[in-house]
């Protein structure tokens, strides 16, 4: 069976610096020897990781909230908010539309792919998705986005629809234990150009792309 590939798969292999992580150790920078030193450099600078292969589905319609509530899922009350759930998230994109995302190894979104309800329908989501993190993340964002991602946005679990390097994205700022972080979703058509732009700035700031398999070693959650 051909393995699933994300929209970033091929372009991520063009990185100025190799991917850092469990399956493809890299060097960040060359004087940083050993995994611990690589992790330290990335966290002090900024890391970029392709997390597009996490399971996701949309749910929309007047009855979407009721469908989720009936299955015991927590619901963000206002629109443009999100909540963590079982290693993933439930994001309310509007009054009647939700984005559900789960880890690939615990795909609790599967049951919503065949919802049969008159007032709620599943929506296939093929978004490309990235994770940015690190102490120099604000410096990167200042170069590519007009929105100032404040700590209040993260604390209130707000969703932000904006543009990053000219690409329309859904963004969720949050505070991972070691560093500030930002999740992004975008149309996969624009994924390669977005990756190239961000990877270039990441490396200029002293960071590197990170294999998603290595995020656990860095202590960075996907959300």
Number of domains forming the structure of the chain: 2
Whether 94 and 116 share a structural domain = yes
Q: Which of 185, 142, 140 is nearest to 160 (CA)?
A: 185
Is residue 165 in some structural domain?
Answer: yes
Rounded to an integer, what distance in angstroms lies between the CA atom of residue 102 and that of residue 162?
23
Whether 143 and 156 share a structural domain = yes
Whether 153 and 175 share a structural domain = yes
Question: Two tokens at 220?
Answer: 């960075």
What confidence tens digit (pLDDT) does each residue in 146-164 have?
A: 999 999 999 999 999 999 9
Q: Report pLDDT for 60.
A: 96
Whether 48 and 151 share a structural domain = yes
Q: Which of 55, 154, 69 is nearest to 108 (CA)?
A: 55
Is residue 4 in some structural domain?
Answer: no
Q: Report pLDDT for 134.
A: 94
Domain that residue 170 falls in: 9-52+127-218
Is residue 178 in some structural domain?
Answer: yes
Whether 205 and 132 share a structural domain = yes
Rounded to an integer, what distance in angstroms lies between the CA atom of residue 181 and that of residue 138?
10
CATH number at residue 104: 3.30.70.1400
Q: Report pLDDT for 93.
A: 96
DSSP state of 99: E
Which of 82, 100, 123 represents a domain boundary (last residue)? 123
Which of 123, 152, 180 represents a domain boundary (last residue)? 123
Q: Report pLDDT for 138.
A: 96
Which of 107, 123, 139 represents a domain boundary (last residue)? 123
Q: Does residue 216 sit in helix, strand or coil?
A: helix
pTM given for the model: 0.87
Show the low-confidence residues of the chain (pLDDT under 70). 1-4, 9-10, 12-38
Whether 93 and 166 share a structural domain = no
Is residue 3 in some structural domain?
Answer: no
**Cβ distance 179 to 134 under 8 Å?**
yes
């Amino acid at each position: 069976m051909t393995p699933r590939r994300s929209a970033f798969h091929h372009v991520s292999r063009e990185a100025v610096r190799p991917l850092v992580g469990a399956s493809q150790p890299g060097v960040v920078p060359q004087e940083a020897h050993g995994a611990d030193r690589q992790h330290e450099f990335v966290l002090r600078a900024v890391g970029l990781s392709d997390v597009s292969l996490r399971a996701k589905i949309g749910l929309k319609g007047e009855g979407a909230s009721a469908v989720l509530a009936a299955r015991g899922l927590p619901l963000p009350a206002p629109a443009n908010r999100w909540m963590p759930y079982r290693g993933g998230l439930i994001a309310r994109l509007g009054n009647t539309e939700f984005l559900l995302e789960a880890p690939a190894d615990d795909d609790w979104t599967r049951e919503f792919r065949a919802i049969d309800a008159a007032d709620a329908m599943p929506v296939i989501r093929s978004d490309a998705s990235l994770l940015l993190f690190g102490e120099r993340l604000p410096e990167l964002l200042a170069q590519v986005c007009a929105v100032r991602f404040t700590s209040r946005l993260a604390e209130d679990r707000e969703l932000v629809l904006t543009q990053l390097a000219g690409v329309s994205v859904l963004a969720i700022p949050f505070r991972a234990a070691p560093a500030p972080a930002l999740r992004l979703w975008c149309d996969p058509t624009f994924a390669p150009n977005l990756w190239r732009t961000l990877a270039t700035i990441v490396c200029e700031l002293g960071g590197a792309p990170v294999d998603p398999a290595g995020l656990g070693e860095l202590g960075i959650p996907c959300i």
